[in-house]
Amino acid sequence: MAHSDPQELSVAPRGPLTGSLQVPGDKSISHRALMFSALAVGESRITGLLEGEDVLATAAALRAMGADIERTGAGAWRVNGVGVGGLLQPATALEMGNSGTSTRLLMGLVASHPITATFTGDASLSARPMGRVIEPLSQMGAAFTASPGGRLPLMLRGISPAVPITYTLPVASAQVKSAVLLAGLNTPGITRVVEPVATRDHSERMLRGFGAELTIEDDPAGRIIAIHGEAELRPQTITVPGDPSSAGFWLVAASIVPGSDLVVRNVGLNVTRTGLIAALRLMGADITELDRREVGGEPVADLHVRHAPLTAIEVPPELAPSMIDEYPVLFVAAAFAAGRTVARGAHELRVKESDRIAAMAAALTACGVACEEYEDGLAITGTGGEAIPGGARVASLLDHRIAMSMTVAGLHATRPVVIDDIAPVATSYPAFYKTLDDVSEEA
């Protein structure tokens, strides 16, 4: 699933952002909804599914391994699963495009099935290390032949029965945790993951919803998540809430563009995903929750955000796991705050779709923003609400979040910000630029 030809875009101010919008379905939940439905016996129905390239890569891989998956309307999908243990040998390599989530979680699924699968991806994904998933899955008995550095292309030879393990996460990673739990679904006995720092818990919530026997207990070592293997998952009807990571771009854009008054509807507010909102509120952002409710077992609300002066903060490092994907757009918010914002504790950003610390430091510096780079984050001296100079051509590095974050920065810049390639935005938010036109006074 290669990206299309590069699409350059020049971004200039277009007035306040007003009205309301609905963000696409949560990417993390969309991946898991397809995977767990594919492992249930019977027909599951999903609404609100994110139809970006990453999630479509997951659907294609599951089809290749025997699941019957059909799109029945906008965001509406029907899945007839093969049952836990029922995945079939794929006839060709599984093409993951740019999706690290698809790759790591599907590696977990395949690891405890007696099949062999080859995973390939685009240039960005092929540069990302997979060793943190290879290690625990190898302990369970799976065998790997990877490219140098534990990277794609990669061949995985699964094993059944696999060996249940107790695995302590060396770094906070919901993807690694989920991969081990998914491998544990088809493994006799109890597979445990010890999580010293809590990460997003969508897998745990949804696995329980599908009928898996899963327990969570607090321990001095952290959260211990235990899954009983050889599970029988029951088909479900799933409504996917809006993606808080996608909402983050609008929360920052409306906060920094004078006169903005925006309602972002149906945003998932799982406590493991709300770090950006907490950080923005600490900076003085005007964000209020409307109509808080529950959708598909997840807390949801409409978020009303208005332009407000932002003040620099030291971002609490304990927020990092709950906002790891939102750091690039938080860096943009910091560029418009009064004072010097320090955001650290985010080593994980070095191994995302790009090195997001280096990429954002380079892009913001090119636009006239003073940045100091650390191994685990950035310090950014903001404008106090004034427009940044802009006037630069910046590199998205095949990273959708860099492209969208720098688009937000360009909305309050003295001179246009040119982004070399916005095509990667289709991986997570295909309608982003149309939505921007819809809420801008000057489309």
Q: Do 120 and 153 touch, CB atoms closer than 8 A?
A: yes
Q: Please check whether residues 100 and 214 belong to one and the same domain.
A: yes
Which residue in 122, 325, 399, 421 is the catalytic one? 325
Q: Do 296 and 237 touch, CB atoms closer than 8 A?
A: no
Q: Please check whether residues 354 and 390 belong to one and the same domain.
A: yes
Q: Is 2 a residue whose pLDDT tops 60?
A: no
Over residues 306-328, mean pLDDT:
94
Residues annotated in the binding site for 3-phosphoshikimate, as ranges? 27-28, 32, 173, 175, 325, 352
Structure tokens, 274: 């709300």
Q: Do 97 and 427 touch, CB atoms closer than 8 A?
A: yes
Reading phi first (left if > 0) and then psi (alpha if -120 to 50, else beta), residue 154 is in beta
Residues annotated in the binding site, as ranges? 27-28, 32, 100, 128, 173, 175, 325, 352, 356, 401
From 228, 258, 288, the end of a domain falls on: 228
User: Three-class SS of residue 435?
Assistant: helix
Q: Please check whether residues 252 and 188 belong to one and the same domain.
A: no
Say if 57 falls within a structural domain: yes
Residues annotated in the binding site for phosphoenolpyruvate, as ranges? 27, 100, 128, 175, 356, 401
First to last CA, the chain: 31
- Residue 69: predicted pLDDT: 98
DSSP 233: B
CATH number reported for the structural domain that contains residue 56 in this entry: 3.65.10.10
Sequence-distant (≥ 6) Cβ neighbours of residue 103 within 8 angstroms: 96, 119, 121, 125, 130, 152
Question: pTM for this one?
Answer: 0.84
Domain count, the chain: 2
Q: Do 119 and 154 touch, CB atoms closer than 8 A?
A: yes
Identify the residue whose tokens are 């990877």.
146
Structure tokens, 326: 């939102």
Say if 215 falls within a structural domain: yes
Q: What is the pLDDT of residues 170-215, one digit of tens each?
A: 988 999 999 999 999 999 999 999 999 888 899 999 999 999 999 9
Known active-site residue 286: no
Pairing of strands 298-306, 314-315: unpaired
Sequence-distant (≥ 6) Cβ neighbours of residue 222 within 8 angstroms: 168, 194, 195, 196, 197, 198
Give the full edge-to-edge strand order of the sheet including 222-228.
Answer: 166-168, 190-195, 222-228, 214-219
User: Three-class SS of residue 241?
Assistant: coil
Say if 256 falls within a structural domain: yes
Residues 401, 390: Cα–Cα separation, whole Å:
18
Say if 126 falls within a structural domain: yes
What is the chain's mean pLDDT, rounded?
A: 95
Q: Please check whether residues 194 and 275 belong to one and the same domain.
A: no
Q: Please check whether residues 66 and 192 belong to one and the same domain.
A: yes
The type of residue at 334 is: A
Q: Please check whether residues 60 and 177 belong to one and the same domain.
A: yes
From 228, 260, 285, the end of a domain falls on: 228
Q: Please check whether residues 406 and 315 belong to one and the same domain.
A: yes
Over residues 77-101, mean pLDDT:
96
Query: pLDDT above 70 covers what percent of the chain?
Result: 98
Q: Please check whether residues 181 and 294 belong to one and the same domain.
A: no
Residue 67: strand pairing partners: none
Identify the residue whose tokens are 């909402």.
247
From 177, 206, 228, the end of a domain falls on: 228
Q: What is the pLDDT of residues 271-304, one digit of tens each?
A: 989 999 999 999 999 999 999 998 877 899 999 9
Q: Which domain holds residue 110?
A: 27-228
Structure tokens, 142: 């799976």
Say if 234 falls within a structural domain: no
Residues 198, 188: Cα–Cα separation, whole Å:
26
